[in-house]
Amino acid sequence: MPVSKIRSGLILSAVAVFSLTVAACNNGRERPKLAYEERPVELLYNTGYERLERKRWRDAIDYFQEVERQHPYSEWARHSILMQIYAYYQNNSYAEAIAASDRFIQLFPGNPSAAYAYYMKAICFFEQITDVGRDQGYSENALAALREVARRYPDTAYASDALVKIDMVNDQLAGKEMEIGRYYQRANQPLAAMNRYRTVVENEEFQRTSHAPEALYRLVEVSLVLGLKDEAIRNGAVLGHNFPGSPWYSEAHALLTDQGERPDVEPEARREGWLSRIIPG
């Protein structure tokens, strides 16, 4: 599942909040050389902001870095780091945006704008997630960073967006488990496949993903291959109880019926939790 880039309104609105522009600083002048030269902080910052508005991301970064270099302990320097995060992000320079976010968090951990830095760090990982056929390191980093946003800033718009993206990342990670499980199943390694499918149905967060019905069906398949008919029936019952309208339940029902088994939902399954219905005890 390639994750498309999301230029969130949260990201754009934050830049407007952080802006400290002062009117009429450019007056049509060309960009000054960036060799070290003492210049008013307002001129440096506003020139960077003007480049930002023109989507000249690298130029903007140069000016905001110069604000930091010439005025390291000023309010302008703090805001310049935030603007660098945004400019790096817009330039698809994710590693640099993450580094700038970490720098802001380290320097100003208690500042209200740290929420933006945490959020942008998470977004940069999130937007680098690749399809399930590849390594899921970015997915795992995104999940950890998004959870950190939700934990630290629970009543913010950042947390609300992070929770939505957490579900998306969990779907991605569950999809990876399913892909590996199907690989083992095709390679006639049903026990290894079963372990991957169980990961999906036993993980509480993965249970809420789109992959849960198929994972239960695959458990029916591999259990029959291994001669575990009771296990197959049990998973078919859980599938029917939780996803009665799913085509995967129809497939499981047909498969178990062909084996002469009763795949109907067991009444006691309705009174038990997810995990106890799958693995007794």
What pTM was computed for the model?
0.78
Mean pLDDT, the chain, whole residue set: 83
Query: 155-158 long-range contacts, Cβ below 8 Å, gap at least 24?
Result: 156/115, 157/10, 158/10, 158/115, 158/116, 158/118, 158/119
The total of other beta-carbon atoms located within 10 Å of residue 96's CB is 17
Tokens of 127: 């937007």
Confidence grade of residue 54 (pLDDT, cut at 50, 70, 90)? very high
- In a domain? residue 57: yes
Contact 148, 115 (CB under 8 A): no
- In a domain? residue 72: yes
Angle subtended by helix axes 41-53 and 57-70, to nearest 10 = 160
220-265 residue pLDDT tens: 999 999 999 999 999 999 999 999 889 999 999 999 988 777 666 5
pLDDT reported for residue 266: 46
pLDDT reported for residue 275: 46
Cα-based angle 83, 85, 88 (whole degrees, multiple of 5): 105
- In a domain? residue 41: yes
Task: Report how far residue 48's alpha carbon sits from residue 225's, in angstroms, rounded to the nearest whole number.
Answer: 65
Task: Report how far residue 57's alpha carbon sits from residue 84's, in angstroms, rounded to the nearest whole number.
Answer: 9
Contact 194, 155 (CB under 8 A): no
Domain enclosing residue 86, as ranges: 7-94
Domain count across the chain: 1
Contact 223, 233 (CB under 8 A): no
Average pLDDT over residues 162-179: 94
Task: Report how far residue 112's alpha carbon sits from residue 66's, in angstroms, rounded to the nearest whole number.
Answer: 24
- In a domain? residue 144: no
Task: Report how far residue 277's alpha carbon sits from residue 281's, in angstroms, rounded to the nearest whole number.
Answer: 9
- In a domain? residue 83: yes
Please say if the pLDDT value at position 96 is more than 50: yes
- In a domain? residue 210: no
Confidence grade of residue 40 (pLDDT, cut at 50, 70, 90)? confident
- In a domain? residue 249: no
Task: Report how far residue 211's alpha carbon sits from residue 159's, in angstroms, rounded to the nearest whole number.
Answer: 25
- In a domain? residue 46: yes
